[in-house]
Amino acid sequence: MSGPRDVYVLNGPNLGRLGRRQPEIYGTTTLAELGKQCVRWGQDLGLAVRFQQTNHEGEMLDWLNDAADRGWPVVLNAAAWTHYSYALFDACAQLEAPLVEVHISAPSKRPEEFRHTSVVTPHAARVIEGQGIDGYRQALVFLAEGGAQ
Protein backbone atom coordinates (compact mmCIF):
# COMPACT_ATOMS: atom_id res chain seq x y z
CA MET A 1 0.00 0.00 0.00
CA SER A 2 1.38 3.40 -0.90
CA GLY A 3 1.06 6.54 1.20
CA PRO A 4 -0.36 9.91 0.26
CA ARG A 5 0.94 11.58 -2.88
CA ASP A 6 3.11 14.63 -2.21
CA VAL A 7 1.87 17.92 -3.65
CA TYR A 8 3.38 21.37 -3.43
CA VAL A 9 1.00 24.27 -2.84
CA LEU A 10 3.16 27.31 -3.58
CA ASN A 11 2.29 30.97 -3.04
CA GLY A 12 4.14 34.02 -4.28
CA PRO A 13 4.68 37.60 -3.17
CA ASN A 14 2.36 39.44 -0.83
CA LEU A 15 0.20 36.38 -0.18
CA GLY A 16 1.67 36.37 3.32
CA ARG A 17 -0.56 39.40 3.85
CA LEU A 18 -3.79 37.48 3.22
CA GLY A 19 -6.52 38.53 5.61
CA ARG A 20 -5.05 42.02 5.88
CA ARG A 21 -4.29 42.99 2.28
CA GLN A 22 -7.30 44.24 0.34
CA PRO A 23 -9.84 41.93 1.99
CA GLU A 24 -12.48 43.18 -0.44
CA ILE A 25 -10.48 41.40 -3.18
CA TYR A 26 -8.68 38.58 -1.37
CA GLY A 27 -11.00 37.86 1.56
CA THR A 28 -10.30 37.65 5.28
CA THR A 29 -8.70 34.20 5.49
CA THR A 30 -5.08 34.46 6.63
CA LEU A 31 -2.22 32.58 5.00
CA ALA A 32 -1.87 30.40 8.12
CA GLU A 33 -5.58 29.52 7.98
CA LEU A 34 -5.35 28.78 4.26
CA GLY A 35 -2.32 26.54 4.83
CA LYS A 36 -4.12 24.52 7.51
CA GLN A 37 -7.18 24.20 5.31
CA CYS A 38 -5.11 23.02 2.32
CA VAL A 39 -3.41 20.38 4.48
CA ARG A 40 -6.85 19.16 5.71
CA TRP A 41 -8.30 19.11 2.20
CA GLY A 42 -5.23 17.22 1.02
CA GLN A 43 -5.52 14.64 3.80
CA ASP A 44 -9.17 14.05 2.89
CA LEU A 45 -8.08 13.46 -0.73
CA GLY A 46 -5.05 11.26 0.01
CA LEU A 47 -2.53 14.03 -0.70
CA ALA A 48 0.37 15.17 1.48
CA VAL A 49 0.31 18.94 0.99
CA ARG A 50 3.48 20.96 1.40
CA PHE A 51 2.16 24.51 1.70
CA GLN A 52 4.68 27.34 1.29
CA GLN A 53 4.81 31.08 0.58
CA THR A 54 7.68 33.36 -0.34
CA ASN A 55 8.33 36.93 -1.38
CA HIS A 56 11.65 35.84 -2.95
CA GLU A 57 11.55 34.72 -6.56
CA GLY A 58 14.68 32.57 -6.32
CA GLU A 59 13.15 30.58 -3.47
CA MET A 60 10.04 29.95 -5.57
CA LEU A 61 12.21 28.77 -8.46
CA ASP A 62 14.06 26.40 -6.11
CA TRP A 63 10.73 24.88 -5.01
CA LEU A 64 9.58 24.47 -8.61
CA ASN A 65 12.92 22.86 -9.50
CA ASP A 66 12.49 20.49 -6.55
CA ALA A 67 8.97 19.62 -7.72
CA ALA A 68 10.36 18.88 -11.19
CA ASP A 69 13.12 16.67 -9.76
CA ARG A 70 10.67 14.76 -7.53
CA GLY A 71 7.87 14.53 -10.09
CA TRP A 72 5.41 16.22 -7.71
CA PRO A 73 2.33 18.06 -8.90
CA VAL A 74 2.07 21.75 -8.03
CA VAL A 75 -0.73 24.12 -7.14
CA LEU A 76 0.72 27.55 -7.87
CA ASN A 77 -0.51 31.02 -7.00
CA ALA A 78 2.42 32.98 -8.34
CA ALA A 79 0.74 36.31 -7.52
CA ALA A 80 2.45 39.26 -9.26
CA TRP A 81 5.12 37.00 -10.82
CA THR A 82 2.31 35.47 -12.86
CA HIS A 83 2.35 38.46 -15.16
CA TYR A 84 6.01 38.97 -15.96
CA SER A 85 8.49 36.43 -14.62
CA TYR A 86 10.15 34.58 -17.47
CA ALA A 87 12.24 32.71 -14.90
CA LEU A 88 8.95 31.40 -13.52
CA PHE A 89 7.81 30.54 -17.06
CA ASP A 90 10.98 28.48 -17.57
CA ALA A 91 10.67 26.74 -14.18
CA CYS A 92 7.06 25.79 -14.90
CA ALA A 93 8.00 24.51 -18.36
CA GLN A 94 10.14 21.74 -16.85
CA LEU A 95 7.36 20.29 -14.67
CA GLU A 96 6.15 16.88 -15.82
CA ALA A 97 3.52 16.30 -13.14
CA PRO A 98 0.39 18.45 -13.44
CA LEU A 99 0.50 22.13 -12.56
CA VAL A 100 -2.66 23.95 -11.48
CA GLU A 101 -2.60 27.75 -11.60
CA VAL A 102 -4.77 29.30 -8.88
CA HIS A 103 -5.76 32.89 -8.22
CA ILE A 104 -8.04 33.99 -5.39
CA SER A 105 -9.32 36.89 -7.46
CA ALA A 106 -10.00 36.77 -11.20
CA PRO A 107 -7.00 38.53 -12.78
CA SER A 108 -8.53 38.23 -16.26
CA LYS A 109 -11.43 40.40 -15.07
CA ARG A 110 -9.46 42.95 -13.05
CA PRO A 111 -9.17 46.48 -14.48
CA GLU A 112 -5.37 46.53 -14.67
CA GLU A 113 -4.39 45.38 -18.17
CA PHE A 114 -1.08 43.83 -17.01
CA ARG A 115 -3.06 41.29 -14.94
CA HIS A 116 -4.60 39.81 -18.08
CA THR A 117 -1.35 38.06 -19.07
CA SER A 118 -0.06 34.91 -17.37
CA VAL A 119 3.30 33.26 -17.99
CA VAL A 120 2.06 30.24 -15.98
CA THR A 121 -1.05 29.41 -18.04
CA PRO A 122 0.82 27.87 -21.01
CA HIS A 123 2.14 25.18 -18.65
CA ALA A 124 -0.98 24.65 -16.53
CA ALA A 125 -3.22 21.60 -16.78
CA ARG A 126 -5.94 23.80 -15.31
CA VAL A 127 -6.44 27.44 -14.33
CA ILE A 128 -8.78 28.28 -11.46
CA GLU A 129 -9.47 31.95 -10.79
CA GLY A 130 -12.00 34.02 -8.94
CA GLN A 131 -13.12 31.22 -6.61
CA GLY A 132 -11.58 32.69 -3.46
CA ILE A 133 -9.73 30.20 -1.28
CA ASP A 134 -12.03 27.44 -2.54
CA GLY A 135 -9.95 27.54 -5.71
CA TYR A 136 -7.19 25.78 -3.77
CA ARG A 137 -9.61 22.99 -2.79
CA GLN A 138 -10.74 22.68 -6.40
CA ALA A 139 -7.10 22.41 -7.51
CA LEU A 140 -6.39 19.66 -4.97
CA VAL A 141 -9.50 17.74 -6.06
CA PHE A 142 -8.33 18.02 -9.68
CA LEU A 143 -4.92 16.61 -8.76
CA ALA A 144 -6.38 13.84 -6.60
CA GLU A 145 -8.54 12.80 -9.54
CA GLY A 146 -5.49 12.46 -11.78
CA GLY A 147 -4.94 16.00 -13.02
CA ALA A 148 -5.49 15.24 -16.69
CA GLN A 149 -5.65 18.14 -19.09
In a domain, 36, yes or no: yes
Q: Does 149 reside within a domain?
A: no
Classify residue 67: in a domain, yes or no: yes
Q: Per the domain annotation, does 123 fall within a domain?
A: yes
* Residue 84 is a catalytic residue: no
pLDDT band at 61 (very low <50, low <70, confident <90, very high): very high
Burial label for 67, CB within 10 Å (0-12, 13-18, 19+), is buried
For residue 77, say whether it is annotated as part of any ligand binding site. Answer: yes
Structure pTM?
Answer: 0.92
The pLDDT score that the predictor gives to residue 1 is: 40
Going across the sheet that includes 47-53, the strands are 47-53, 5-11, 74-77, 99-103, 126-129
Q: Which of 56, 84, 86, 103 is catalytic?
A: 103
When the pLDDT of each residue in the chain is averaged and rounded to a whole number, the result is 91
The answer to whether 67 and 9 are in contact (CB under 8 A) is no
Whether 56 is a known active-site residue: answer no
How confident is the model over 82-106, as pLDDT tens digits?
Answer: 988 999 999 999 999 999 999 998 7
pLDDT number for residue 111: 62
Q: Does some domain include residue 76?
A: yes
Question: How high is the pLDDT of residue 127?
Answer: 96
State yes or no: 116 annotated in a binding site: no
- Sign of the CA dihedral running 26, 121, 5, 147: positive
Number of domains in the chain: 1
pLDDT in the model for residue 115: 67
The pLDDT value recorded for residue 148 is: 62
In a domain, 108, yes or no: yes
**CATH code of residue 140:** 3.40.50.9100
- Please report whether residue 24 resides in a domain: yes
Active-site residue, from 26, 116, 123, 136: 26
Q: What is the mean pLDDT of residues 60-80?
A: 97
How far is the CA of 73 from the CAs of 49, 68, 92, 96, 145, in angstroms?
A: 10, 8, 11, 8, 12
- Whether residue 104 is annotated as binding a ligand: the answer is yes
DSSP string, 7-22: EEEEE-TTGGGTTTS-
- pLDDT score for 138: 98
Confidence bin at 62 (pLDDT 50/70/90): very high
Q: How many CB atoms are located within 10 Å of the residue 20 CB?
A: 11
Query: Is the Cβ–Cβ distance between 141 and 42 less than 8 Å?
Result: no
In a domain, residue 75? The reply is yes
**Residue range of the domain that includes 47:** 5-144
Q: What is the residue-wise DSSP string for 60-76?
A: HHHHHHHHHHHT--EEE
